[in-house]
Structure 1
Amino acid sequence: MFSKKQDPFAVKLSEIAGHLKTTSQFFVDFKINGIADVKEFAHKVKDFETAGDDLMHQLIIDLNNAFITPIDREDLLALANALDDVLDGFEECSAIFEIYNIVQADEHMIKFVDEINIAVSELAMAMDLLVARKLQPMREHVIKIKEQETICDNLRRKSIKALFATETDPIKIIQYKEIYESLESIADYCQDAANVIETIIMKNA
C-alpha cells in the first residue's frame, strides 16, 4: 500500500501534532502570577492556535490537490480536524482564564493540564509512527490516550465536587466549574483523535 517515500500527509499530520505538543507544554510551563500574565498567556496560546490553523490550511490545500492519497482522504481530513479541535480547546480554555482574570491555577487545574499533556504527547508519538508506517504499534498510544481521558473525566467530577464543598463565592464556583469543564473537553478532543487513529489502523494495517 505504501511506497518507500514518506507519505507527505502523514508528515503534515506529524507537524500539526508536534505543534500541538508544543502548545500543551506551554500550558504546563507557563506561570500566572497576575493580570498581565493572564493576558500574555491567552495571547500566546492564540498565536499557537493561529499557527496551527495555518498548518491545517496547508494540509487541506495539499489534500485537494492530491490525485491519490495512501490513506483515505476523508480519514486524513478527519484526523487533521480532530487534532485542530484539541488546539482550539487549548485556546478556548486560555480565553476563559483571561475573561475571568484567573490569576492562579488551583491544584485541580494543574493536575488536569499534566494529564492532558500526557495525552497530547501520546498523540504526537502516534503521528510519528504514522510517518514511519508502523500502524499496529499506534494502538498502544490510542489505548493510553483513552486512559488519560478517563482520568480527566474522573478529575472533573472530583474537582467540581470539591469546589461545591469548599467554595462559598458563587461567582468563583461558576468560573472554576467552567474551567474544569473546558479542560476536560480538551481530553475529550484527544480521545476523538484517538478514535480516528483507530479507524485508520483498522482500515490500513
Structure 2
Amino acid sequence: MFSLQTIFGKGDKFYGLLEASAAAAHRSASALTEFLGKDGSVAAKSLEEFRLARQREKKLAAEISEALVNTFVTALEREDIEALSGALYKIPKVIEKFAERYSLIGDRLGDDDFASRAGMLEKACEVLEQMVGQLRSMKLEPMKELNDQLQAIENEADRLILELFRDMYRNENDPVRFLLRKDLFEILEKAIDRCRDAGNVVYAIVLKNS
C-alpha cells in the first residue's frame, strides 16, 4: 500500500533538502579547520569558501520555504521543517562571521589555539549531519546516542571556554587584545551552540514521531 507521501511524490524531498543543509554546515566547519591551519596562523586565505557555504545554505532554506508553500503533503510537520531549516541556516552564518573577523585581526593574537576549538565545531557538525541523515528512520535510540554525543561536545566546549576566560582575566594585560580574543572565542562558542540547538530540534522531531 502506498502512503499519501508516496502518492504525492513528496516523501523524500524535505529529507533530502535538510540533509543537504546539514552537509553544507559541515562543509563550512571543515573549511574553517583548514582555514586556521594546524598552527592556527593567518595566511593569505580566501573567505570565498565561507561565503559560498552560507549562500548554499541560504538557497536551501529558500527552497525549503518554497516547497512548503507548494506542497500539500510533507514528510514532517511543517513547523518542524521550518525550525530545523532555520537552525541549520544559522551555523554557516556564524562560521563566516568568525572567519571574517579572524582574517582581519588574527595576526595580532599570538598563539591562541583557535584550531582545536574549530575542530570541536567540525565534530559537532559531523554528528549533526548524521542526526539529520537518520531522520528518515525515526529510530529513537540511535538518535539519542548521537544527541548525547552532540551535548557532550557542547559541554566540553563550555568547559574549555570558561578555562580560557579564567586564564585571560588573570594573565592578559593588553585590554584591546583581551577584547579581540574574547570576541573570537565567543563566536566559536556560539557556532557550537547553534549545532546543539539544531540537534535539539532533530531529537524533538524523533521524540514526537517515535
Q: 1:145 and 1:65 mapped to 2: Cα distance?
A: 34
Residues 101/33 of structure 1: CA separation in 2 closer, same or farther (3 Å cut)? closer
2:191 to 149, 174, 186: 186
- Normalised by the size of structure 2, how large is the TM-score? 0.86
2:100 to 86, 95, 98: 95
Q: Which moved more, 1:154-163 or 1:171-180?
A: 154-163
Q: Is the 8 A contact 2:25 2:125 kept in 1?
A: yes
Q: 1:203 and 1:130 mapped to 2: Cα distance?
A: 12
Q: For structure 1, which runs of at least 5 residues remain unmatched after alignment?
A: none
CA RMSD of aligned residues (A): 2.2
Query: Displacement of 1:149 after TM fit?
Result: 0.9
Query: Displacement of 1:173 after TM fit?
Result: 0.6
2:30 to 12, 19, 25: 25
- Normalised by the size of structure 1, how large is the TM-score? 0.88
Query: Displacement of 1:103 after TM fit?
Result: 6.7
- Which residue of structure 2 aligns with residue 110 of structure 1? 115
Q: How many residues align?
A: 201
Q: Is the 8 A contact 2:138 2:206 kept in 1?
A: no
Q: Which has the larger radius of gyration?
A: 2
Q: 2:156 and 2:181 mapped to 1: Cα distance?
A: 19
Q: 2:4 and 2:206 mapped to 1: Cα distance?
A: 14
- Which residue of structure 2 aligns with residue 156 of structure 1? 161
Q: 1:43 aligned to 2:48?
A: yes
Q: Is the 8 A contact 2:138 2:209 kept in 1?
A: no
Instruction: Please give the residue correspondences for 1:53-64 in structure 2 after superposition, counting only pairs within 5 Å.
Output: 53-64=58-69
Query: Displacement of 1:102 after TM fit?
Result: 3.9
- Which residue of structure 1 aligns with residue 134 of structure 2? 129
